[in-house]
């Protein structure tokens, strides 16, 4: 993600850090670490991130077996300490993006009995407000979310077989269709200014 400071921020799950890199020469400028879960003793691994309207980083992490949380951190911090979501996810949060309403939309998937879904979190409190879309709307291993300028959002789905797809939704969750992209499995999405 390109930060407001002009640095490129990279999720490094293998080292459980976010690295801020100078885009002109690739030099490492700053590293943000993540904690070990206090109950499960698992190192939090950053998966995806987005900058919020407040200039802070919002980061989905895997810190519980097959489950995770969202952390919020200042881009200059040395360690992420503040968990954003006030209620636990019933799955592994992955992709995230702020909608035009100021709320945070988070895609998540589960290997258990929970649906693959996109949930809306209150942009100020972090409380999970509602499930916007689920496997009933064509989601399967939903790992990326990106909002377009018109207020609709796209979800990158890994799918269950050899290929994935992208689903398109209104901010209320109405299904606007599917973009098949076999045999690709989208892991990230970004909407360009055009």
DSSP string, 151-189: S-EEEEE--SSS--EEEEE-TT--EEEEEE-TT------
Is the pLDDT reported for residue 149 higher than 80? yes
The distance of Cα 48 from the centroid of its chain, to the nearest Å, equals 5
d(CA 104, CA 108): 13
- CB of 97 closer than 8 Å to CB of 78: no
Q: What average pLDDT does this structure show over 38-66?
A: 91
Longest dimension (CA), the chain: 46
Specify the pLDDT at position 94. Answer: 92
Structure tokens, 169: 């939704």
How many CA atoms within 13 Å lie on the side-chain side of 31?
9
Specify the pLDDT at position 173. Answer: 87
> Which pLDDT band holds residue 39 (cuts at 50, 70, 90)?
confident
CA proximity to 59, closest of 98, 91, 94, 86 = 94
Specify the pLDDT at position 112. Answer: 65
> Which pLDDT band holds residue 111 (cuts at 50, 70, 90)?
low
Query: Does 86 or 6 have the greater pLDDT score?
Result: 6
pTM: 0.93
Give the angle subtended at the CA of 138 by the CAs of 135 and 142, to the nearest 5°.
70
| 64 sits in which H/E element | strand 57-64
């Amino acid at each position: 993600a390109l930060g407001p400071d002009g640095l490129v921020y990279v999720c490094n799950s293998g080292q459980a850090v976010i690295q801020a890199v100078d885009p002109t020469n690739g030099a490492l400028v700053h590293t943000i670490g993540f904690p070990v879960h206090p109950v499960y003793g698992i190192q939090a691994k950053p998966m995806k991130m987005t900058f919020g309207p407040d200039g802070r980083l919002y980061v989905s992490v895997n810190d519980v077996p097959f489950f995770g949380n969202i952390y919020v951190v200042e881009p200059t911090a040395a360690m992420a300490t503040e968990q954003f979501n006030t209620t636990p996810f019933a799955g592994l949060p992955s992709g995230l993006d702020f909608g035009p309403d100021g709320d945070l939309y988070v895609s998540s998937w589960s290997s258990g009995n929970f649906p693959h879904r996109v949930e809306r979190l209150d942009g100020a409190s972090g409380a999970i407000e509602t499930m916007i879309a689920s496997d009933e709307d064509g989601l399967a291993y939903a790992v990326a979310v990106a909002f377009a300028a018109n207020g609709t959002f796209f979800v990158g789905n890994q799918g269950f077989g050899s290929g994935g797809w992208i689903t398109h939704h209104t901010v209320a969750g109405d299904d606007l269709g599917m973009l098949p992209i076999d045999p690709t499995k989208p892991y990230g999405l970004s909407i360009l200014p055009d």
